[in-house]
With several copies, the nearest count.
Chain A
Amino acid sequence: MDLFYFAWLREKVGTGSEQCALPAEITTVAALIDWLKTRSPGHATAFADLALVRVAVNQDHAGLDAPVRDSDEVAFFPPVTGG
């Protein structure tokens, strides 16, 4: 799975992108986040308040209950502030 982090989530995780082999039992964004939080203190800090986190699966906005699988591209970021 390709993972991307943007803005302050990138800073807290400590990298803008990483790859991982998704465990078979992880099938939703929420479960993915719980798993990512165990990877490093940075990940844990980045995902400490999910009200501040937005998600995209394969470059489309997605919710915490969206399905994910190993071939997906998943990105995490704060609410957008463009324009």
Chain B
Amino acid sequence: MIRVQTEDFDAGALLNGLMDDPAAGAVATFTGTVRDDSGTLTALTLEHYPGMTEKQLQALADEARRRWPLSAVVIVHRHGRLVPGDRIVFVGTRSAHRAAAFAACEFLMDWLKTRAPFWKQEQHGDSRSWVEAKSSDDTAADRWT
């Protein structure tokens, strides 16, 4: 299941939705929220590329299923205006074994960070700036190639 939406999501309900298969064995999830390291973040606005976003997230999910034996993949990513503490992204993977569930979940987050067309703009008071991509994200994504 791939969802790109402005609405909030219930991470717990998404996890419980992944638990409904008796043959599941192992479910790994990642949930990301808006941090405010500076203490001055007013808002974080996520722009995305409608169409390409869904296409790229589906391609990521397909690639994860090609690499690991997964019985379910869930990716939910928000866009629009968020404030500190808001949920941004949920990734959940289900497999018979924990190593596959963990690896696929981490892979999806790493590749999502470098391939899904989202851009963050920070607002501190009246000042707005685009968040720059981190080289550490490229390094993390390169692990899987």
Contact = CB atoms under 8 A, between A and B. Distances in A.
A–B direct touch in complex (beta carbons closer than 8 A) = yes
Given A80-B133, A82-B113, A83-B89, A7 B121 contact: yes
Interface string A42-83: 000000000000001001110000000000000101111111
A78 B113 contact: no
Given A7-B119, A56-B117, A82 B51 contact: no
A78 B134 CA distance: 12
A81 B45 CA distance: 11
Contacts of A78: 119, 130, 132-133
A8 B133 CA distance: 13
Interface string A1-40: 0001011101000000000000000000000000000000
21 contacts: A4-B49, A7-B119, A8-B130, A59-B52, A60-B52, A60-B55, A75-B49, A78-B130, A78-B132, A78-B133, A79-B132, A80-B114, A80-B133, A81-B113, A81-B130, A82-B46, A82-B48, A82-B89, A82-B117, A83-B109, A83-B116
Given A56-B117, A82-B112, A83-B116, 8 more contacts: A6-B47, A60-B55, A78-B133, A80-B119, A81-B132, A81-B134, A82-B117, A83-B77
